[in-house]
Structure 1
Amino acid sequence: MQAMWITVSEDLGDICPVFRKTWNCSGHVKCARIMMSSLGVYEAELNGKRISDYVLAPGWTSYKTRLQYQEYDITEMLEEKNTLEITVGKGWFRSRMADFAYPEEAEKRQKQPCGLIAQLSVIYKDGKQEELYTDETWEYAESPVRFSEIYDGEVYDACFCPADWKRAVILNWSKDILIPQEGCKIREMERIYAKSVFRTPRGELVVDFGQEVTGYVEFSVNAHEGERIHILHGEMTDHEGNFYNENYRSAKAEITYICRAGRQTWHPRLTFFGFRYIMLDEFPKMEDSELYTEQFTANAVYSDMEQTGHIASSDNRLNRLVSNIMWGQKGNFLDVPTDCPQRDERLGWTGDAQVFVKAACYNFDTEKFFTKWLRDLAAEQRKDGAVTTVVPDYMPGDRPSAAWGDAAVICPWQIYMIYGNEKILEDQFDSMKRWVDYITASTKKPFLWTGGEHYGDWLGLDAPAGSYKGSSREDLIATAYYAYSTELLIRAGRVIGKDMGEYEELHRRIVSAFRKTFPGYYTQTEHVLAVHFGLAEDVQKTADDLAELIIQDGTQIKTGFVGTPLILHVLSSYGHTALAYSLLLRTGYPSWLYPVEKGATTIWEHWDGIRTDGNFWSADMNSFNHYSYGAVADWIYEVAAGITPVEKAPGFRRVRIEPHPDGRIGWLEVSVRTRNGMVSSRWNCEKDSIRYDIKTEMPAEIIIDGKTMNVEPGKYTFWGRLQNT
């Protein structure tokens, strides 16, 4: 690439620069393409029109070694005289990301330079070729974007016109880090129209979109020149109905817009927010209450993924839960699988990603999304093989944690199983192996993982007072995941033709050491892990003990981030499907449906983000869009509907369908579009009988009432007995 990095020659402070290049076409254009990237996020316009609908390009990667560039076809946009303008904001590259935990690192990040690199190639119909690329001939000026940052929002002055253009300067920055676009394009995927505009008891003017989204608000207004619009974002109103966003912590999450004269429509372009409500702190005519819902639209922004899974039932509460899970994924799959999209965090937590990856792959086609992120995980992996707790690594002082670092192994395996592409295992195998080797080298006791510092069963409801961690023993959790990651590494190695004898022996020793060290289990999560990872001496008895413990606890879950995604699977795998349904359908706190009863439109971080008395859990760590507990969706796909890929035929080359109905739900219909076709499973309760309607576009193994039938692609109807109530 001949293009050079360019930057500004002065400190513009918080103002976003706009870079410019003008040129004349010297003939009839056959084709023209432009490649570009930035240190920050950019928006490019050619002759006053946006080049692409890509939002927040070039995306978020491990910037030290990997920076995506995008390539656009601009043939139809060229004119005889052309002006290319590219505005560069701070984005993830230069915002104060993770300053709540690592302020010094965030300060260094904020001091990094803004940069742009672009190369334009024009081929004329007479065969002549012309190249234009970033160098000292480009110009820059202050843009109307007076401030833009991930946590704090955007300030835009529509009255400001760039002037006083100056020469750009060459920036000494590596071009070796540039890679072609790998991930999904980030786009405005959906538009949510305002549901209501109302006054709160405090007199605040608030717009409710009826659905929490990640993205930004777009508004239309007829204003006088210089009038200000100031908008705050929030997820909730408090128990009195007032606007609430204290849980955003230090993130200001606000936009300020200086109006030009006349009618105008605007939305931020270089940042994003997580919100359901906006508060109009300043807005033209707001005192006259002449505001209408038609003036406000929430643009949902997320990675361009095709929805592949669909779940519907006769239970509207369950349908709302499924909708919340889908929206939680959309809101947190904005180029990186983040924990939350609203507060001063928005980081790619590895633990959240691994517990949700299976559900994510059923809900949407996430192969491309995860492939890109896993390459960043490998790039951030430390020299000793340790996996960072967030990817990209904006928390370099964090120690590796079990169930978080295991994303290095669990995610590639799950993607392979759902999509059937061995390349993900080939590409990630070294990273997977290095993680297992890291545990082996760092433990204080051979074949156990002891001595580490972990997040434990994060937010487990059995946590001791004052702790965010559950009561499950951290060494037990760590060793259980050590065994599981080793087992998956062995499976992956076999798929791609590796000799895994050394790790097979390691796994046997880990299991033996686990059984000797942890002969008994005290919490729900300890039981879950011992069963699900095949570590208990007697898995059936341990599963039975788990069921009894759950009933003793009031038929409710006490698990956190580690135990919750697996607990229903363990129960249904060992004869306790009815109890699993009881947990799924429970409406009181704690349960999946408790937030639904409280009006949730996404998945909450805490089971009681809003407590039974109407008060909030806290302002310290209380996200209302946190997808992890939405992992329950994979149980609905795999157990309730019974759809699973066969391990020897990954990617659903062959499908296993074994539905597990429950009379408390009248009917359930689930479908999944796979790499090898569509499969759907529907059951309908009719008195003491169940009607099953199954469609499959691939060979299938169908199991009804314990009877197995091997079938070819087609439509099938069966009748069975209603067993679970």
Structure 2
Amino acid sequence: MLSVSHITLDGEATLCGVDRFPVVGWKIDSDRRDVLQRSWHLQCSTSADFSALIFDSGEVISAQSSNLELEVTPLLSSTRYYLRVRISDNQGESSGWSPSSELVTGLLDTPWRAEFISAESLSDKAESKATLLRNAFSLSPTKAIAAAWVHATALGIYQLFLNGARVGNDELTPGWTSYRHHLLYQTYDVTGMLNQGENVIGAELGAGWFKGDMGFSRHRNYYGEQTALLCQLVIQYDDGSRQVVGSDRSWRGSDSAREFAEIYDGERFDARRVQVGWSQTDFNDASWRAVSIVDWDNHTLKAQGAGTVRQMERLAAKALIITPQGDKVLDFGQNMSGWVAFRVRGKAGDKVVLRHFETLDANGNVYLDNLRTARQTTEYFLKGEGDETWHPRFSWQGFRYVKVEEFPGELDLSQFTAIVIHSNMAATGHFSCSNPELNQLHHNILWGLKSNFVDVPTDCPQRDERLGWTGDAQIFCRTASYLMQTQTFFAKWLVDLKADQTPEGGVPHVIPDILTGHCDQDKFLAEGGTHSATGWADAAVVNPWTMYLMYGDKRVLENQYASMKGWVDFMQTHSDNDIWRYKLQFGDWVALDAQEGSYFGATPEDLICTAWYANSTQLLAKTAKVLERTDDHRYYDALHERIVERFRQRFFTADGDMTARTQTAHILALCFNLVPDALRERTANTLVELLHQHDGHLVTGFLGTPYFCHALSQNQHPKEAWSLLLKDDFPSWLYQVKAGATTIWEHWDGIKPDGSMWSPDMNSFNHYAYGAVGEWLYRTVAGMEADETAPGFKHIVISPLPGGGLSWMDARYQSIYGDIAVNWQAQKGRVVLTFRIPANTTATVKLPAAREIITGGSLNFAHDNGEWSAHCGSGEYRVEYLPDESVDLTYTD
């Protein structure tokens, strides 16, 4: 039976607040094989029953079911639209109408009739207290409300209230952007929250990223000195008329009971100072002060339809620990980002003080040193009226453990709950296998993403940093996009990357950029500059290309093309005879082959820089080809060839060896195709030698590690790749697992084998970069690979790599077309491979480790270039084969 399970809009299930009509796609279900779409018929309506159509495509003969850009009648602002589709296939079946999907427009081209208002003055620029804003307004007592929407944003962090109830369920809005260039606003349906007659709208504002204390230099007021709210309520009556209520001088302001709120340091809240009913109609605001108007360029405003931060999970406290030093510590069993919610009873003025941290030291005591100057503390003063519940709202903490410094009465674990927050992204990946430690590693990788994808891709969630380091984001981008739907998340961040680039095309180390102009006290950054480090700045090219590869939407390439080109041109401008290097370089950051006391690995910077120069230039050339920019494609393709040739001349000896005998040098040369074909086997064998020199261990850092297993498995060394992954002594991924990690560490030896710690100045235990090995689990172990000639998994390459002594592996990836699933099991000396291909796609199955095909099902395998391969359409398949001698498995009867 043929059906459409659901429609996607810009990759999301629904959108609430858009500036333009989204690209449309849908997922097709069928119980048949080889199903391809023949035609589609899409409708868009302002009514849920589709009686008020604004668009009807009629039947369109086309196989395209993703990334459709439609010419829809000009949209109205503050309006809900419904979409549905039906299709036919190549086997004569037709579907019914799909379930409808919804989108809500923002203000579109309608001018804002509201102003940015503040309850602060310029004298409050050093203040970290929250403020309240409110306004009473009247609606017609005789007209029925058909729909009502509020569009809101803030300079700072805001929460909105209407008639005493909170509006929406987003957190930390409007998020962190390059505010002067790009400020998001949110849209909420408030139809059921309004009364005919009198109403009150209110907001609470905190400093947040906008004016708060940010960065390891601990500066503040990066973007401005006053918090401010912009809010426009649009009421639609059933007679077709509209009423608009906007933030203006008529609003009133006051201080909040939230006396202090900073992202790194936490919050202080005095429940005795709560103004009960402040956002309700019967409240007297005579003692409140007048608001001021804050000037802001409304051209920076852009609607945010999806991807806001949300409360995603709740974790119960696992244990109450009394440390050797006598501290009371709650263990939530998982390193995470979020808050602790608690229930407490006591006298007025009694105090709760909670200090959040990541790990206990070797003696089992509280370890705070790696937080540096971040306090990560919440304080709550009781009102003293029965049970009270509370948690922060305007900061968040990175923690597994909580030191209870003050708490009235006896502690009971049931009084505490950890609330996990991160950007709202659909889960798309699943991986499990017969090795429990690998399963825990995958868990740790996933939780590293959850902890650090809080509106921007941060390096870590706990210390006085939490910055959008471009290197970390670039390294982890492909892994993240298997685990979760990151299309919306990265598209938002890339807008800021483009906005913060230097006029010459240089890319800041962190996005949004708050380092430039604020690093006088940092020796490296003060002398070396705050932009254009290889492997970091290359996020400008790698991330858009990865988004295109995973989701097939050309718009990300179009939107970022000038940024991508700007970065490659910057490198070319500052290269010397096609060898690239520029000011401060992080190189193979924190590699273990670095000199004692240094963060910089042993691989020469000019080699790393030139390798990345070649890689990004090639990706730009490919992008130009996709976008049909023919002249650019020719130019950058030729430039890439020239850089490769120069790399070979400079970094290979006449005898065919690389000039740098480091693991990372060989990894980058192999994975970026910089090795002459005649030397590929030799270079790969040398990499294995270098691995064996360290007893099979890696000594790589941020730029070598993500590619290590790929460099081995793609060059006839799959056993070594598996062995590297499965090492469980220091240094290795599983060393961290065996040490009890629940996320990925910043350093291989964050906690050393003797229990001592790496230097506390930079020792995060929740740092996702080394979790980039997750990409190898999905692309190689599970063998689910995208084809860049048919991106978004329109054509899928299924090429799993059994091994590692495993007896089974099971993986799934929810692509834009549907669920791709791969399972392999080792049974009686053979491998049983089952896989599923979604409708309207095709696949090529490659089995490089197969010696003989026993059962191919309906697939016609051919043997060519040392591997068995077959082509197939959608459906479920089962293949049995005998593996070759390179495959190490534990067989079951």
Q: Which moved more, 1:128-137 or 1:405-414?
A: 128-137
SS for the counterpart of 1:279 is: strand
Equivalences for residues 231-630 of structure 1 within 5 A: 231-261=354-384, 262-285=386-409, 290-396=410-516, 397-443=529-575, 445-499=576-630, 500-519=633-652, 520=658, 521-537=660-676, 538-630=679-771
What amino acid sits opposite 1:359 in the alignment? Answer: T
Q: Say whether the 8 Å CA contact 2:222–2:514 is kept in structure 1.
A: no
Q: Does 1:657 align with 2:798?
A: yes
Q: Which residue of 2 aligns with 1:142?
A: 255
Q: Which moved more, 1:124-133 or 1:181-190?
A: 124-133
CA distance in 2, matches of 1:119, 1:451: 47
The structure 2 residue matched to 1:177, chosen from 297, 300, 305, is 300
Q: Say whether the 8 Å CA contact 1:239–1:615 is kept in structure 2.
A: yes
SS for the counterpart of 2:615 is: helix
SS for the counterpart of 2:619 is: helix
Q: CA deviation at 1:174?
A: 2.0
Once the two structures are superposed, residues 112-132 of structure 1 have per-residue CA deviations (whole angstroms, 9 ceiling, x without a partner) of 211111111112233332211
SS for the counterpart of 1:188 is: strand
Q: Which residue of 1 aligns with 2:129?
A: 15
CA distance in 1, matches of 2:396, 2:166: 18
What amino acid sits opposite 2:791 in the alignment? Answer: P
SS for the counterpart of 2:272 is: coil
Q: Which residue of 2 aligns with 1:122?
A: 235
CA distance in 2, matches of 1:182, 1:97: 27
CA distance in 2, matches of 1:182, 1:84: 22
Q: Does 1:6 align with 2:138?
A: no
Equivalences for residues 98-113 of structure 1 within 5 A: 98=215, 100-101=216-217, 106-109=219-222, 112-113=225-226
Q: Does 1:646 align with 2:787?
A: yes
* TM-score scaled by length of structure 1: 0.97
Once the two structures are superposed, residues 243-281 of structure 1 have per-residue CA deviations (whole angstroms, 9 ceiling, x without a partner) of 212111000110000111210111101111100011110
Q: Which moved more, 1:179-188 or 1:131-140?
A: 179-188
Tell me how many residue pairs correspond in the alignment: 716
SS for the counterpart of 2:824 is: strand
Q: CA deviation at 1:687?
A: 4.3
- CA change 1:451–1:130 in 2 (3 A) is closer
What amino acid sits opposite 1:671 in the alignment? Answer: R
What amino acid sits opposite 1:189 in the alignment? Answer: M
Q: Say whether the 8 Å CA contact 2:315–2:417 is kept in structure 1.
A: yes
Q: Which residue of 2 aligns with 1:154?
A: 267
Q: Say whether the 8 Å CA contact 2:722–2:804 is kept in structure 1.
A: no
CA distance in 1, matches of 2:338, 2:211: 19
CA distance in 1, matches of 2:583, 2:671: 22
SS for the counterpart of 1:421 is: coil
Equivalences for residues 16-165 of structure 1 within 5 A: 16-27=130-141, 28-79=144-195, 80-98=197-215, 100-101=216-217, 106-109=219-222, 112-162=225-275, 164-165=287-288
Q: CA deviation at 1:198?
A: 2.2
SS for the counterpart of 2:642 is: helix
- CA change 1:264–1:540 in 2 (3 A) is same
CA distance in 2, matches of 1:683, 1:128: 62
- CA change 1:9–1:350 in 2 (3 A) is closer
Gaps of 5+ in 2: 1-111, 276-284, 517-528, 653-657, 851-866, 889-893
Q: Say whether the 8 Å CA contact 1:96–1:110 is kept in structure 2.
A: no
Structure with bigger gyration radius: 2
Q: Say whether the 8 Å CA contact 1:381–1:388 is kept in structure 2.
A: yes
Q: Which residue of 2 aligns with 1:715?
A: 876
CA distance in 2, matches of 1:378, 1:496: 18
Q: CA deviation at 1:169?
A: 1.2
What amino acid sits opposite 1:375 in the alignment? Answer: V
Q: Which moved more, 1:553-562 or 1:112-121?
A: 112-121
What amino acid sits opposite 2:133 in the alignment? Answer: F
Once the two structures are superposed, residues 204-252 of structure 1 have per-residue CA deviations (whole angstroms, 9 ceiling, x without a partner) of 1111000011011101112222111111000001111112121110001
Q: Say whether the 8 Å CA contact 2:532–2:582 is kept in structure 1.
A: no
What amino acid sits opposite 1:135 in the alignment? Answer: D
Q: CA deviation at 1:6?
A: 1.1
Q: Say whether the 8 Å CA contact 1:36–1:70 is kept in structure 2.
A: yes
Once the two structures are superposed, residues 686-723 of structure 1 have per-residue CA deviations (whole angstroms, 9 ceiling, x without a partner) of 24321111111132111232211111111111112233
CA distance in 1, matches of 2:390, 2:338: 13
Once the two structures are superposed, residues 416-436 of structure 1 have per-residue CA deviations (whole angstroms, 9 ceiling, x without a partner) of 011111111111111100100
What amino acid sits opposite 2:611 in the alignment? Answer: A
SS for the counterpart of 2:154 is: strand
CA distance in 2, matches of 1:215, 1:451: 38
CA distance in 1, matches of 2:223, 2:343: 33
Q: CA deviation at 1:53?
A: 0.5
Q: CA deviation at 1:399?
A: 3.3
Q: Say whether the 8 Å CA contact 2:370–2:761 is kept in structure 1.
A: yes
| % same residue | 41
Q: CA deviation at 1:542?
A: 0.8
Give the aligned CA root-mean-square deviation in angstroms. 1.3
- CA change 1:703–1:392 in 2 (3 A) is same
Q: Which moved more, 1:19-28 or 1:205-214?
A: 19-28
Gaps of 5+ in 1: none
* TM-score scaled by length of structure 2: 0.79
SS for the counterpart of 2:298 is: coil
CA distance in 2, matches of 1:490, 1:60: 32
Q: Which residue of 2 aligns with 1:695?
A: 836
Q: CA deviation at 1:412?
A: 0.6
CA distance in 1, matches of 2:592, 2:626: 39
